[in-house]
Amino acid sequence: MTASVDQVMVSVTDGSLPQVLDDLREAGLVVDTVLEALGVVTGTAEVRAIPALQAVPGVIDVERQWRVQLPPY
Amino acid sequence: MTEPAEVETTGRFLVLLQEDAVEEGLAELGAIAGFNPNTGAIGSDTLQVFPELGVAVVSGDPNLLGELNGAAEGPGAVQIVEPERVVHVFAAPVEEEPEAAADESVLTWGLQAVGADVSTATGKGIKIAVLDTGWENNHPDFAGRTITTKSFIAGEDVQDGHGHGTHCIGTSAGPRKPATLPGYGVAYEAEIFAGKVLSNAGSGSDGGILAGIDWAVANGCAIISMSLGADVPAGTPYSQIYETVAQRAMAKGTLIIAAAGNASTRPARIAPVGHPARCPSIIAVAAIDVNRAIASFSSGSADRIGQIDVCAPGVDVYSSFKLPEKYRRLRGTSMATPHVAGVAVLIAERTGARGFELWARLAGTALRLPLASTDIGTGLVQAP
């Protein structure tokens, strides 16, 4: 059975991009998109790596991504 | 999680498993409920699994619920546990003729309700982003309009294969005098940014939504209209990340307006405001009908976290739709949200206000209605 992988989103402090990306990658984040205007990085990580991401200097919050579904008409 | 006393349950439990980790979730379930998912229990009375849905139905004694809830709160692949409900066929409600139906020969009832018909503001010079299912590129009512588009859905272009996005764009920024009346757009000269963050099947995730917000902020949009969300149980904390994002967007002059959700079944149950509208720095929009009554489905301030800020027309809303239909009447807080976004555009144009000043003017000038503030916030938004 493979390790559980999740889509995550990471908010970082103002001015910490792009330096924080190397540390996030080292902590286990596979970076999908860097949202510079928002100071947010999205990507995937093993669920067990989330505490390590949270511990990276410059990181404010790490959350799993939610899914959204419109109701049928 | 407790259920209201009047909800009839079966004694079984619904377990939502993480979408991409169903096997791991079943193993976790097995450890708690005392069965081995690999030895034929699947499909028996003990356990039913719907792998496409990522849902399992488990039977067991009532003590099991506590243990399953413990697993749902901890990390791992078991995400949500609910008692299985007994459902009945709904008795058909008496067909109610809308009394004193509005005259929609020239403009929709929604445009009249928000006072767009008596405002001279047009939205000219203001950029609005609608993050939804995309845009019907060939809609004749928008010929000659400046529309910037981008898809954040892998493998799908911005063309709206669903219709929801085209409807929301129509309400917020569509025409007042299309070839076929009525007119249906609040800010009819606004500059439109159509971001596709929901697929043609109507689904998306935070990654695409955040990418759409980033795009709108980077392009200087004053308003983002998001008729999307996920329903959550009462008491669910708001997303800290969306809250940070909304504050940063607001500091850069972009106000985010989002649908509260359609999860209520009034008067029996008022559902809490969904994600991400439940963030304090995102405007949460409720829906009212032509009689200025709260819509039966409109989610409300059911906990102290997600609070309704304003309301707008969200029942029997006529607007543009994907071809070949071209127009459709829809209901939902999804339809109320672009009314609010359009009014925000008009206020931005008329006053120059952005960010939180725009929020304050929008909420402060809303028309007070004799309804609970927990249902409609400050009231029905009004064009300047």
The structure tokens listed for B64 are 């099991």
Question: pLDDT value at position B96?
Answer: 47
What positions of B carry a catalytic annotation? Answer: 132, 164, 334
Which pLDDT tens digit goes with each residue over A30-57? 999 999 999 999 999 999 999 999 999 9
The answer to the question of residue B291 being in a domain is yes
Is 90 exceeded by the pLDDT of residue B33? no
Pairwise CA distance, residues B268 & B277, whole Å: 22
Given CB atoms, is A65 within the 8 Å cutoff of chain B? Answer: yes
Give the model confidence (pLDDT) of B83-127 as tens digits: 564 444 333 434 444 445 789 999 999 999 999 999 999 999 999
ipTM of the complex: 0.88
User: Percentage of chain B surpassing pLDDT 90?
Assistant: 73
CB B164 within 8 A of CB B202: yes
Question: Do B254 and B349 reside in the same domain of the chain?
Answer: yes
Q: How many domains does chain B have?
A: 2
User: For testing the chain A interface, which of B131, B200, B205, B254 should be mutated: the one with the most A CBs within 10 Å?
Assistant: B205
Instruction: Please indicate, yes or no, if residue B3 is contained in any of the structural domains.
Output: no
Residue B328 in any domain: the answer is: yes
Which residues in chain A have Cβ-Cβ distances shorter than 8 Å to B28?
A: none
pLDDT per residue as tens digits for the range B230-243: 999 999 999 999 99
What integer pLDDT is reported at residue B27 of this predicted model?
79
DSSP letter at B345 equals H
Give the separation between CA B350 and CA A8, rounded to whole angstroms.
40
Residue B195 has pLDDT above 90, yes or no: yes
Domain boundary among B52, B85, B118: B85
| Domain assignment of residue B57, given as a range | 9-85
Between chain A and chain B, the number of residue pairs with CB atoms below 8 A apart is 111
Task: Identify the DSSP state of B294.
Answer: B
* DSSP-based three-state secondary structure for B297: coil
Report the pLDDT value the prediction gives residue B158, as an integer from 0 to 100. 98
One domain for residues B29 and B114: no
At A8 the pLDDT is 97
**A61 to B133: CB separation less than 8 angstroms, yes or no:** no
Tokens of B381: 């938004």
> What pLDDT digit, counting tens, does each position of B283-293 carry?
999 999 999 99
Where in chain A does DSSP place strands (E)? 5-12, 30-35, 40-46, 59-64, 67-69
Same domain, B29 and B164: no
Higher pLDDT, B151 or B51: B151
The answer, for B22 touching chain A at a CB cutoff of 8 Å, is no
Helix segments in chain B, DSSP class H: 22-33, 63-73, 109-113, 164-173, 206-218, 240-251, 333-351, 355-364, 373-376
- What backbone torsions phi and psi does residue B173 show, to the nearest 5 degrees? -145, 15
pLDDT for A72 equals 66
Candidates B75, B133, B210; nearest CB to A35: B210
The predicted structure's pLDDT at residue B78: 76
Whether B350 shows a pLDDT value over 60: the answer reads yes
Whether residues B156 and B300 share a domain: the answer is: yes
On chain B, the residues whose CB falls within 8 A of the CB of A67 are 19, 203-206, 230
What is the overall mean pLDDT for chain B? Answer: 87
- Chain B residue numbers touching A11 (CB-CB < 8 A): 240-241, 244-245
In this structure, is residue B1 part of a structural domain? no
Determine the Cα–Cα distance for residues B139 and B166; give it in Å rounded to an integer: 9
CA atoms within 13 A on the CB side of A22: 2
Rounded CA-CA distance B290/B293 in Å is 7
Quick check: B241 and A9 CB within 8 A? Answer: yes
Cross-strand pairs, B107:
B183
CATH number for B30: 3.30.70
Determine the Cα–Cα distance for residues B341 and B285; give it in Å rounded to an integer.
10
More confident residue, B329 or B42: B329
Q: Give the pLDDT band (50/70/90) at residue B6.
A: very low
B69 shares its domain with B215: no
Residues 6 or more apart in contact with residue A67 via CB below 8 angstroms: B19, B203, B204, B205, B206, B230
Same structural domain for residues B121 and B69?
Answer: no
pLDDT of residue B50: 61
Same domain, B71 and B166: no
The pLDDT of residue A73 = 61
Question: What CATH number is given to the structural domain containing B366?
Answer: 3.40.50.200
- pLDDT tens, B51-74? 555 667 677 666 777 777 777 776
CB B351 within 8 A of CB B263: no
User: How far apart (Å, rounded) are the C-alpha atoms in residues A69 and B203?
Assistant: 4
Mean pLDDT, residues B313-339 taken together: 97
Same domain, B132 and B80: no
Closest approach of chain B CAs to the CA of A35, in angstroms? 6
Structure tokens at B236: 């669910």
Shared-domain flag, residues B231 and B161: yes
Query: Same domain for B134 and B214?
Result: yes
What's the CA gap between B297 and B308, in Å, rounded?
A: 14
Does residue B136 fall inside a structural domain?
Answer: yes
User: Going along chain B, which residue ranges are E strands?
Assistant: 9-17, 47-50, 55-59, 78-85, 127-132, 147-151, 191-196, 203-205, 223-226, 255-259, 283-288, 310-313, 317-320, 327-330
Contact B18 A6 (CB under 8 A): yes
Interface check for A69 against chain B (CB to CB < 8 A): the answer is: yes
Asked whether residue B195 falls in the same domain as residue B326, the answer is yes
Residues B237, B294 within the same domain = yes
- % of chain A with per-residue pLDDT over 90: 84
